[in-house]
Amino acid sequence: MQIATADSWHETRTGSGGITYIGEPHTLEFCRCNIWRVKGGDADLLEEGDIVDLSDRHFPVLHIPGHSPGSISLREQETGIFFSGDAVYDGTRIDGDYPGYMAEDITSTERLLELPVRIAHRSRHPSYDSDRHREAIRAWLDERARS
């Protein structure tokens, strides 16, 4: 078995039009967090306060650095529907691996604790209600405080 080290965890390939693919070759295909960087960085595509407009639904962008520098979440104010991305886990969470991530991660996660959320949809995990959302956040913050 090959052990992936930090310097070999991600692979990059540059394509046309300034698009760079960043992938995780050491994880199973269905678990990969593949990223496409477009001309300057994924954080440049959507910014805090931008609106993802789906015609009949509107989701303001929340910049939630921590798990990765360009992480975002979306929350529809009218319904309390929340898409957390990788910002909230219910159980074991893989923490970010870039310099200075932990302080940003804690600040972002504390911010999410205060959001009025009715239902949270998370990447790679089942959705849950507002009570479980807050329990999961508090559990992670408590774990960080102990370490």
> Helix, strand, or coil here: 144?
helix
- Tally of CB atoms within 10 A around 103: 10
Mean pLDDT by 10 residues, the chain (147 residues): 57 69 62 48 70 91 80 92 84 59 82 92 85 91 85
Q: What pLDDT, on the 0 to 100 scale, is given for residue 51?
A: 92
Is residue 69 within 8 A of residue 35, CB to CB? The reply is: no
Please indicate, yes or no, whether the overall pTM of this predicted structure exceeds 0.85.
no
**What token pair was written down for 58?**
């509107």
Q: What pLDDT, on the 0 to 100 scale, is given for residue 21?
A: 66
Angle among Cα 106, 109, 110 to the nearest 5 degrees reads: 85
In the chain, where the domains are located: 6-41, 46-146
Give the Å distances, CA to CA, from 29 to 8, 20, 46, 60, 70.
Answer: 17, 19, 26, 30, 22
Residue with tokens 């959507």: 46
Between CA 19 and CA 13 the distance in angstroms is: 9
Residue with tokens 């965890």: 9
Say which CATH superfamily domain 46-146 falls into. Answer: Ribonuclease Z/Hydroxyacylglutathione hydrolase-like (3.60.15.10)
Which residue type is seen at 99? P
CA torsion angle 58 63 69 71 (round to 10): -30
Q: What pLDDT, on the 0 to 100 scale, is given for residue 78?
A: 94
Q: What pLDDT, on the 0 to 100 scale, is given for residue 8?
A: 62
Residues in the chain: 147
Q: What pLDDT, on the 0 to 100 scale, is given for residue 125?
A: 77
How far is CA 103 from its chain centroid? 15
**What token pair was written down for 29?**
């295909």
